[in-house]
Chains A and B, each alone.
Chain A
Amino acid sequence: MAELCGIVGIGQTRHQAARKDVSMAGLIREAAERALADAELTWKDIDAVVIGKAPDMFEGVMMPELFLHDAIGGAYKPMLRVHTAGSVGGSTGIVAASLVQAGIHDRVLTVAFEKQSESNAMWALSISLPFSVAVVAGAGGFFAPLVRGYMRRSGAPEDTGIRVALKDRKNALKNPNAHLQIPDIDFDKIASSPMLWDPIRYLETCPSSDGACAMVMAKQALAEKAPRKPAWVHASEMRSEPTMFSGRDAVIPRATLDNAKNLYKKAGIRNPRKEIDCAEIYVPFSWFEPMWMEGMLIAEKNEGWKMTYEGATAMDGDFPVNMSGGVLSSNPIGASGLLRFAEAAMQVRGQAGEHQVDGARKALGHAYGGGSQYFSTWIVGSDKP
C-alpha cells in the first residue's frame, strides 16, 4: 500500500556554537541548498516542506516556520511544523517520508534546525512553575540520576562514559560538519574535565550548537532516476510514554523497547546486531550509548556497556555507532534527530567521506526526547526494502 520513499539529497551546515554570519533563514537555506545540490534539483521541484525544531523559546520566536518557510522554497506550498521535543528531528524525517509513502507528494524537502544562540536554551528548559522546586539545571540535571540508575543496575565500570565520549570525539575529527573537534582528545582529558552533574563530566556532554540539516525525499520512480544512489526507507517507528508515573522505568523505558521491536519487525530484521551495519544514535550524554544499545535491543539487558568496552561500537567494530561524532559533538537540538537519520542515510549511500563505514548497506537512525519518553527511529538501506 505504501509507496517507496528514497532519500535523494542530503545537506547540513557546519555546526557551531553561534552562527553569527547568518540569520535563521540563512541557516536553514544553507542546509536546504546543499540538499538540493546533492539531488541536483531546484526549489521548483519540491512539492511540500516539513520543518522541525524544538521549543520555540530556544529562538524567542513563536512558530518561526511561519516567517521562515519561504526561505526554503515553501511559498504557496503545503508546510508542516513538527515538534516532539528532542526527538523532533527524527519525527520530522518520519512525517516527511510519510507524505511520499502515502502517495500525496512526489518530492518533499525536510529541514530541521536550531539557532539556540539567539535565545537561552538552559533558561527555556528550566522555566519553573510554582508546583515544583527549581533544582534541575538543564537536561543534564534531569538525566544524571537516570545514568546513576543504569550504573547501579548494570554494574557497568565507572569509566564507560569516558570511553564513549573518547570514541565519539575522535570520530568527530573525521566529520567536517561537526561542531566540537578536539584534535588532542584523549582519555585523561575527558576524565579530568569538570564534573557537571555527577556522574556526567563536561567532556561527556553535548555542546549547544547552531545548525541545520535537510533532506530531499522522493517517490520511487523519481528516486530511481536521481543522480546519486538513493537511500531507501525500510521502516520507521515512533513510540511515546508518559514522562512520569508510578513504577515507570525511566532508565530503559518500555517505549524504546516497543519501538525497537516494531521497527525491526517492519524492516524484516531478526538479529539487529548482525543485520544492521551501523547506527547513528541520539547520545547527548555519553552513558546513553550503552543505555540505548539495550533500549534498541542491540545488546542484552545490562550488557550494553560491554559493547562499548569491547570496541564493538568503534568505527572498526562490528556495530559502529555515531561515526559522525554524534550529538556529543554537535547538538543543534531541533536538528540533532534529523542529523542522526541523515547520517544513517549518508552511510548507505557511501556518502560519509572520512567517517564512512566500508560497505554499509543498512543503517539505523535514532532520536529521543522529552524525559526519555519520545522515541523515533528509522532503518535505511542501499537496496530497496
Chain B
Amino acid sequence: MSEPVEILKTPVKLDYTYSAGQSASRFLRAMAEGKLIGQRCPVDGRVYFPTRGSCPQHGALMRPEPVELSDRGTVVTFSINRVPSENIKLDLPYAPVQVLLDGADTILMHVLGECPIDQVHMGMRVQAVWKPKSEWTTSIGNIKYFKPSGEPDAPFDSYKEHI
C-alpha cells in the first residue's frame, strides 16, 4: 500500500489584458514623453498624481485638464525593506519612499537611490532620476529612482498633512 497523496501541485496560469482606462492612459502616455501629468478633483481642486481617473474621496471623475508637475519633491515618509519578494527586482535593502512632488497634493510611491540607506529621512528633498530616453515606455518605471536633490529639508508643515 503506497503512501497517500498529501500534496498536489497544480500550476495556475491566467492571462489578463488590462485597460488602463482613459485617465490612466493619459498619465502613462505622458510618462512615455518624460512628463508627469496629474489631474484635479472637480470638488476641491486638489491635484492627484498618479491618478486612475476618479477622486476617491468624492467619487467624481477628475477634471480632464492636465496639470504638469515637477519631478522634484519631498520625502514624506519611507521604510527600509529587507524582505525579498518575487515581483521586486531591487537589491536588498532598499528604501521605498513616499514622495510629495512639487505641485501635487497626493504622494507617489517610489524608491530611493544614490543615497546610503541610513540617511533617508522625512522631509528630505529629492529629484527623479530617469532611465535613458531610449528606454522610455508607457510606465512609471521610466523613473529609475529618486535621489537627494541637495536642497535643505522641507519644513514639516509643508508635508505634515500627508503623513
Contact = CB atoms under 8 A, between A and B. Distances in A.
Contacts of A243: 56
A135 interface: yes
Contact of A135 (B77, B81, B82, B106): B81
Contacts of B141: 130, 133
B18 A129 contact: yes
A126 B96 CA distance: 14
Contact of B83 (A131, A141, A199, A246): A141
A37 B156 CA distance: 58
A107 B150 CA distance: 66
A144 B96 CA distance: 10
A131 to B, nearest CB: 6
A26 to B, nearest CB: 12
Interface stretch (A85-93, A189-197, A265-273): A189-197
Q: Is chain B's interface secondary structure helix, strand, loop, or mixed overall?
A: loop
A158 interface: no
B111 A152 contact: no
Contacts of A152: 122, 163
A146 B87 CA distance: 22
A60 interface: yes
Contact of B87 (A131, A134, A200): A134
The residue in A120, A129, A194, A245 that gathers the most chain B C-beta atoms within 10 A of its C-beta is: A245
A128 B111 CA distance: 15
How many chain A residues sit at the interface, stated as a range, is 35 or more
Interface in A168-225: 194-200
Contact of B88 (A60, A135, A195, A246): A135
A373 B137 CA distance: 33
Contact of A134 (B27, B50, B83, B88): B88
A199 B7 CA distance: 37
A153 interface: yes
A155 interface: no
A248 B98 CA distance: 14
Interface string A137-152: 1101100111011001
A67 interface: no
Contacts of A60: 10, 12
A64 to B, nearest CB: 13
Contacts of A144: 79-81
Interface in B58-84: 77-84
A131 B109 contact: no
Interface string A103-137: 00000000000000000101100111111111111
Contacts of B129: none
Contacts of B85: 122-123, 126, 137-138
A144 B78 CA distance: 8
B55 interface: yes
A2 interface: no
The residue in A20, A128, A141 that gathers the most chain B C-beta atoms within 10 A of its C-beta is: A141
A138 B79 contact: no
B29 interface: no
A247 B46 contact: yes
The residue in A127, A199, A242 that gathers the most chain B C-beta atoms within 10 A of its C-beta is: A242
A84 to B, nearest CB: 17
Interface in B17-52: 18, 20, 24, 27-28, 41, 44, 46-48, 50, 52
A130 B20 contact: yes
B82 A131 contact: no
A195 B80 contact: yes
Contacts of B2: none
The residue in A120, A199, A247 that gathers the most chain B C-beta atoms within 10 A of its C-beta is: A247
Contact of A242 (B12, B56, B96, B162): B56
Given A132-B50, A133-B140, A133-B141, A197 B18 contact: no
A120 B55 CA distance: 32
Interface in B121-142: 122, 138-141
Given A130-B20, A148-B77, A198-B79, A137 B88 contact: yes
A153 B122 CA distance: 12
B47 to A, nearest CB: 8
A141 B81 contact: yes
A35 to B, nearest CB: 26
Given A122-B85, A122-B86, A126-B88, A131 B52 contact: yes
Nearest to A194: B82
The 4 closest A-B pairs by CB, nearest first: A144-B79, A242-B56, A198-B80, A137-B85
Interface of B: 6-7, 10, 12, 18, 20, 24, 27-28, 41, 44, 46-48, 50, 52, 55-57, 77-88, 90, 94, 96, 98, 105-106, 109-111, 122, 138-141, 143, 161-163
12 contacts: A120-B86, A122-B85, A126-B85, A127-B87, A132-B109, A133-B111, A135-B109, A148-B77, A197-B80, A198-B82, A200-B79, A245-B57
